Amino acid sequence: MTIGQLLQWGAEALRQKGIESQELESEILLSFVFKCGRDRLFLRNSEQVSKNLELKFKRAVSQRLTRQPWQYITGETEFYGLKIKVNQNALIPRPETELLAEAVIKRWQPEWSTVLDIGAGSGAISIALAKNIPNARIWASEISPGAGALATRNIRIHGLSRRVKIVKADVFPVKKQRYDCIVSNPPYIPSGQLKSLQPEVSLYEPWQALDGGRDGLKFYRLISKKLKEYLNPGGLVALEIGQGQGKKVRQILKTCNPGMKIEILKDYAKIGRIVLGYR
């Protein structure tokens, strides 16, 4: 089979399984197998593919047909223009979360220097901040050993080990320290909705990183109650939220931190996605 024929075969197999963006994902998987960019596939469209590479591609497509996310199959994704290694120990970074990193980068003040990233996961947020804010020193808390190891690997790959430190902690580090900015994409899915999520999420991504408790707001309460202890006066807290949670998270922050100025940013679908609190 030629590269063009394989791409068509992969797209059709994915289409029959009801997977959206089947042509794009077929290209991504074949690029992964060929270890080249997607653009180069089209330049080699009529090239014959060896049996070995053909089998590797069909194996990757078969994995995707089980609804395993293509990011876990290829072992990497892109976040804020950066390559990030991923595995099933951590959530796959989403485009919405890029808005969280962007909000912090745009609002960063020259006199600030310290950041706490609560729930580091793959380390994507910490890495994006460190790459775009030269003076930022970042502590990233993570309770999962597997996610902590993944984040440490990504931090090392990007040459940021001196500026980004993984701290094993459930939400806040045990050691009391104040930060100029606290950022988090915490678990915010209500416990009862986890099983109804799309299979790519419910079957493969870690529930620990998704489960926000009975109403999905457990971690916003935990974070809000501790801000006075960990966030410097004049500092910023930036939180990603789920659909429809904006007003409730605003109220949680206000109740625990009277006088805090709150701003809610919308995502690409005009859904409230980022809550910013100015102390």
Taking each helix axis from N to C end, the angle separating 95-107 and 124-132, rounded to the nearest 10 degrees, works out to: 40
Provide the pLDDT confidence category of residue 252 given band limits of 50, 70 and 90.
very high
For residues 270 and 175, the model is more confident at: 270
Provide the pLDDT confidence category of residue 42 given band limits of 50, 70 and 90.
confident
Convert the pLDDT of each residue in 150-181 to its tens digit.
999 999 999 999 999 999 999 999 888 999 99
Instruction: Report the percent of the chain where pLDDT is more than 90.
Output: 94
Residue 40 pLDDT > 90: no
CATH number of 3-66: 1.10.8
Convert the pLDDT of each residue in 191-233 to its tens digit.
999 999 999 999 999 999 999 999 999 999 999 999 999 999 9
40-49, Cβ contacts within 8 angstroms, sequence gap of 24 or more: 41/3, 41/7, 44/3, 45/2, 45/3, 45/4, 46/2, 46/3, 46/4, 47/2, 47/3, 48/1, 48/2, 49/1, 49/2, 49/3, 49/6
Which residue do the tokens 């902590």 mark? 148
User: What is the pLDDT, as a whole number, of residue 176?
Assistant: 85
Quick check: 219 and 171 in contact, CB under 8 A? yes
Quick check: 267 and 99 in contact, CB under 8 A? yes
Residue 203's Cα: distance from chain center in Å?
Answer: 17
Q: What is the pTM of this model?
A: 0.94
User: What is the pLDDT, as a whole number, of residue 109?
Assistant: 97
Residue 145 pLDDT > 80: yes
User: What is the pLDDT, as a whole number, of residue 229?
Assistant: 95
User: 160: which 2 tokens?
Assistant: 């940021």
Domain ranges in the chain are 3-66, 88-278
User: What is the pLDDT, as a whole number, of residue 37?
Assistant: 85
Instruction: Please name the residues in contact with 129: beta carbons below 8 A apart, sequence gap of 6 or more.
Output: 101, 104, 105, 115, 117, 136, 138, 183
CATH number of 88-278: 3.40.50.150
Convert the pLDDT of each residue in 2-13 to its tens digit.
999 999 999 999
Distance (Å, whole) CA 246 – CA 244: 6
User: What is the pLDDT, as a whole number, of residue 202?
Assistant: 97
> How far are the Cα atoms of 48, 146, 162, 209 from residue 123, in angstroms, in the given order?
39, 12, 14, 13
User: What is the pLDDT, as a whole number, of residue 184?
Assistant: 98
Residue 43 pLDDT > 80: no
Convert the pLDDT of each residue in 119-139 to its tens digit.
999 999 999 999 999 999 999
User: What is the pLDDT, as a whole number, of residue 175?
Assistant: 87
> How far are the Cα atoms of 77, 116, 261 from residue 125, in angstroms, in the given order?
13, 11, 23
The per-type count for the chain, helices as H runs and strands as E runs, is: 11, 9
Helix ranges, 133-263 (H): 145-157, 199-202, 218-230, 246-256
Provide the pLDDT confidence category of residue 103 given band limits of 50, 70 and 90.
very high
Q: What is the mean pLDDT of the chain?
A: 96
